[in-house]
């Protein structure tokens, strides 16, 4: 049974010029021990659909779905309190900007222990021991001393490690990583990706990797969903996506990679793929 | 025109950091003796991680910041902004495009004024001439006449980067410093902007100093590559030499860390995963 099942998810935002559909009929599923990558450019609705799963969208958003189930429970019919018990515990999320997602006013120790206090009801001593253990697991040197550091005293890569420590604190079944390495240097990106893949394998988590970087997809995913303008263009396992991309959009995306450049100009998406009719056709 | 457009010898830049009320002051060596030269119509890519001094170097080349020591020559003429003020002619020759197109355009300035301002400050052209030149440049970078009176917030990231490039080209520079110009852009938009840069380089015989941390972009656009690490140039050579036979350990680390999006490496990874 899949861990997360989404069928025909639609997210609309009320705007001055009428409703805007950010996500338009996306279906996907993730199983335990599986790494699913959602690829798309900005505005493709990849983050919004996962925020809808987490219930983190503002009240202006209207979330509709035929099915939105986590671990066999319907997320849409849960009340707020019940949902809060799942979010942050069984489903955890890592965001793009590590520096911006940590609270600058509290030590990282406090922020890690907060999750443990709310979800695991641990006492002070056990929380502290677990926080040290977590920082060690994500590869921060001198973990016990670092607990009393503030986010500004750490580098971007270290902040992202702390974010990961917070996310895995309650041994989640599903981890959603929203562009976890976009703000980082390539060598740090490699370390963070290696760390995520190691933790995913060790804990048998389901992992959803949201990214726009085809290289990251190639290095991490088992299965890939390609999104464009809120619609799903293609779903395939990682090898066939790169070997024999089915949708015109995926082909355009791969051709625009500078790695694959053949001539002295890069093909652009619009060379392949510009009109609405073809987008709609590909989404079907 | 013979000789390199840009020549730098042993550029050093130190920053003195005051230690606050009780601390002692210290010196940060941001750039430690870097030398290079770029010929007309060529592209030098400077690669490195955050904090390696590549943006400091960009500021020195653009003559915003003076080097602590070393020699900088532009079009054969020696420049030292620490000693003598720059002539408008020198200012015209080097222009810069910044990484973040959301931060580098004044939100209260219309696009027409953004493009006209360099002319207003540096030349004595009439308002009509400025308007014509701005309009022509706007079309050159792939935007339309109707965009002339719009504000920056009405444009997408890629369009804003086009505007920033257009502004940099208004004074017909010889050398364009591009500080991570595509790292904030989507893949498809990135391809469009890279194509635009290539077109402009052909048309105006522009020389580029292209600063980036994305090796796949660098491999695509550069003629020469310089890899920086903690303020030093650890590797400097033609693109093919650097990519096919990296000499320094750090360059090799950088290549190894760059995610590869080809079928062979995916197969290798999946096989490894299955075995584990």
**Residues B136-148 pLDDT 10s:** 999 999 898 999 9
Asked whether the beta carbons of residue A218 and residue B262 sit closer than 8 angstroms, the reply is yes
Q: Which residues of A touch B253 (CB under 8 A)?
A: 187
Contact call for B260 and A269, based on CB within 8 A: no
**Locus of tokens 């660098």:** B218
Q: Helix A186-203 and helix B249-257: axis angle, to 10°?
A: 50
Check if the beta carbon of residue A81 is closer than 8 Å to that of residue A15: no
Per-residue pLDDT reduced to its tens digit, B54-110: 889 999 999 988 999 999 999 988 888 877 778 888 889 999 998 888 888 999 999
> Which of A98 and B267 is assigned the larger pLDDT?
B267
For range A175-202, the mean pLDDT:
90
> How far is the C-alpha of A35 from the C-alpha of A238, rounded, in Å?
10
Give the pLDDT score at A258. Answer: 84
Find the residue in B nearest to A245 (Cα). Answer: B263
Nearest CA to CA, how far is B180 from chain A (Å)? 13
**Higher per-residue confidence, A183 vs B269:** B269
CA-based nearest residue to A53, from A147, A214, A173, A134 = A173
Q: Is A216 on the interface with B (CB under 8 A)?
A: yes
Contact status of A123 with chain B (Cβ, < 8 Å) = no
Percentage with pLDDT > 70 across chain A = 94
| Mean pLDDT calculated for residue range A181-187 | 83
Partner residue opposite B198 with nearest CB, options A243, A252, A264:
A264
Interface mutation vs chain A, best among B261, B272, B274, most A CBs within 10 Å: B261
pLDDT at B3: 76
Question: Which of B212, B213, B259, B263 to probe by mutation at the A interface, max A CB count within 10 Å?
Answer: B259
Is the model's pLDDT at B13 over the cut of 70? yes
Residue with tokens 């490894």: B272
* Pairwise CA distance, residues A174 & B2, whole Å: 62
Q: What is the pLDDT of residues B41-70, one digit of tens each?
A: 999 999 988 888 888 999 999 998 899 999
CB nearest A187 (choices: B195, B214, B257): B257
pLDDT digit string (tens) for A104-149?
Answer: 999 999 999 999 999 999 999 999 999 999 999 998 989 999 999 9
Establish if A262 touches chain B: CB-CB under 8 angstroms: no
Which pLDDT score, from 0 to 100, does residue B188 have?
81
Does ipTM come in above 0.95? Answer: no
Flag if A268 and B257 touch (Cβ within 8 Å): no
Neighbouring CB atoms inside 10 A of B205's CB total 12
User: In which residue are the tokens 């950088």 written?
Assistant: B254
Interface of B with A in 209-238 (CB under 8 A): 213-217, 219-221
Instruction: Please determine, for residue A284, whether its predicted confidence score (pLDDT) is greater than 70.
Output: no
pLDDT value at residue B2: 60
What would the 3-class secondary structure string for chain B be? Answer: CCCCCEEEEEEEEEEEECCCCCCCCEEEEEEEEEEEEECCCCEEEEECCCCCCHHHHHHHHCCCCCCCEEEEEECCEEECCCCCCCCHHHHHHEEEECCCCCCCCCCCCCHHHHHHHHHHHHCCCCHHHHHHHHHHHHHHCCCCHHHCCCCHHHCCHHHHHHHHHHHHHCCCCCEEEEECCCCCCCHHHHHHHHHHHHHHHHHHCCEEEEEECCHHHHHHHCCEEEEEECCEEEEEEEHHHHHHCCCCHHHHHHHHHCCCCCHHHHHHHHHHHHHC
Using a CB-CB distance cutoff of 8 angstroms, which residues of chain B are in contact with residue A238? Answer: 266, 270
A204 touches chain B (CB under 8 A): no
Most A-contacting residue of B101, B162, B187, B271 (CB-CB within 10 A), to test interface: B187
Q: So what's the pLDDT on residue B58?
A: 92
Contact A187 B215 (CB under 8 A): no
pLDDT digits (tens, 9 = 90+) for A234-277: 999 999 999 999 988 898 888 888 887 776 788 776 655 555 55
Q: Note the pTM of the prediction, 2 decimals.
A: 0.84
Q: What is the DSSP string of A1-54?
A: --SEEEEEEEEEEEETTEEEEEEEEEEEEE-TT-EEEEE--TTSSHHHHHHHHH
H or E segment to which residue A207 belongs: strand A206-211
Closest CA of chain A from B132, distance in Å: 29
Pair of tokens at residue B153: 């917030």
Q: Given an 8 Å threshold on Cβ–Cβ distance, is A242 in contact with B49? A: no
Note whether B262 contacts A: Cβ–Cβ < 8 A. Answer: yes
Mean pLDDT of B220-226: 94
Q: What is the pLDDT of residue A280?
A: 60
Position A275 scores a pLDDT of: 57
Instruction: Provide the mean pLDDT of chain A.
Output: 89
Q: What is the mean pLDDT of residues B23-28?
A: 82
**Is the backbone of residue B70 left (phi > 0), alpha (psi -120 to 50) or beta?**
left
Cα A73 to the center of its chain, rounded Å = 20
The SS3 of residue A152 is helix
Phi, psi for B102 (deg, rounded to 5):
-80, -25
pLDDT, tens only, A201-226? 999 999 999 998 899 999 999 999 99
Nearest CA in chain B to A274: B188
Q: Are B72 and B36 in contact (CB under 8 A)?
A: no
Of residues A246 and A43, more confidence is placed in A246
């Amino acid at each position: 049974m899949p861990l997360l099942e989404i069928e025909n998810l639609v997210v609309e935002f009320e705007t001055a010029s009428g409703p805007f559909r950010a996500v338009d009929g996306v279906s996907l599923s993730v199983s335990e021990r599986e790494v699913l990558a959602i690829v798309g450019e900005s505005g493709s609705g990849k983050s919004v659909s996962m925020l809808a799963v987490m219930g983190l969208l503002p009240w202006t958003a209207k979330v509709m779905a035929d099915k939105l189930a986590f671990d066999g429970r319907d997320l849409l019919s849960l009340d707020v309190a019940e949902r809060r018990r799942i979010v942050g515990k069984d489903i955890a999320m890592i965001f793009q900007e590590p520096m911006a997602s940590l609270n600058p006013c509290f030590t990282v120790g406090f922020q890690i222990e907060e999750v443990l206090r709310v979800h695991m009801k641990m006492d002070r001593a056990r929380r502290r021991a677990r926080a040290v253990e977590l920082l060690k697991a994500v590869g921060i040197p001198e973990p016990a001393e670092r607990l009393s550091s503030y986010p500004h005293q750490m580098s971007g890569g270290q902040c992202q490690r702390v974010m990961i420590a917070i996310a895995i604190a309650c041994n989640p079944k599903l981890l959603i990583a929203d562009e976890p390495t976009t703000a980082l240097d390539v060598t740090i990106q490699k370390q963070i990706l290696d760390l995520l893949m190691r933790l995913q394998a060790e804990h048998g988590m389901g992992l959803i990797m949201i990214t726009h970087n085809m290289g990251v997809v190639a290095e991490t995913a088992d299965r890939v969903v390609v999104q464009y303008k809120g619609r799903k263009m293609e779903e395939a396992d990682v090898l066939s996506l790169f070997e024999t991309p089915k949708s015109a959009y995926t082909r355009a995306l791969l051709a625009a990679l500078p790695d694959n450049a053949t001539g002295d100009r890069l093909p652009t998406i619009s060379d392949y793929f510009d009109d609405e009719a073809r987008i709609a056709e590909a989404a079907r | 025109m013979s000789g390199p457009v840009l020549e730098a010898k042993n550029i050093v830049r130190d920053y003195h950091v005051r230690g606050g009320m009780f601390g002692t002051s210290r010196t940060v060596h941001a750039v430690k003796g870097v030398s290079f030269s770029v010929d007309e119509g060529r592209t030098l890519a400077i690669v490195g991680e955050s904090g390696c001094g590549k943006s400091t170097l960009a500021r020195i080349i653009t003559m915003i910041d003076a080097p602590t020591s070393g020699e900088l020559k532009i079009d054969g003429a020696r420049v030292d902004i620490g000693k003598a003020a720059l002539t408008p002619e020198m200012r015209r020759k080097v222009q810069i495009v910044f990484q973040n197109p959301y931060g580098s355009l004044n939100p209260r300035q219309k696009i027409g004024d953004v493009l006209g301002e360099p002319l207003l400050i540096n030349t004595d052209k009439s308002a009509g001439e400025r308007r014509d030149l701005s309009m022509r440049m706007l079309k050159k970078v792939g935007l339309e006449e109707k965009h002339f009176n719009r504000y920056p917030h009405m444009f997408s990231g890629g369009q804003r980067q086009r505007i920033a490039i257009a502004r940099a080209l208004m004074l017909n520079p010889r050398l364009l410093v591009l500080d991570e110009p595509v790292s904030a852009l989507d893949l498809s938009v990135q391809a469009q902007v890279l194509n635009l840069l290539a077109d402009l380089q052909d048309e105006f015989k522009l020389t580029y100093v292209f600063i980036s941390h994305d090796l796949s972009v660098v491999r695509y656009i550069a003629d020469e590559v310089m890899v920086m690490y903690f303020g030093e140039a650890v590797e400097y050579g033609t693109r093919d030499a650097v990519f096919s036979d990296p000499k320094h350990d750090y360059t090799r680390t950088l290549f190894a860390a760059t995610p590869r999006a080809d079928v062979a490496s995916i197969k290798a990874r999946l096989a490894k995963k299955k075995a584990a």
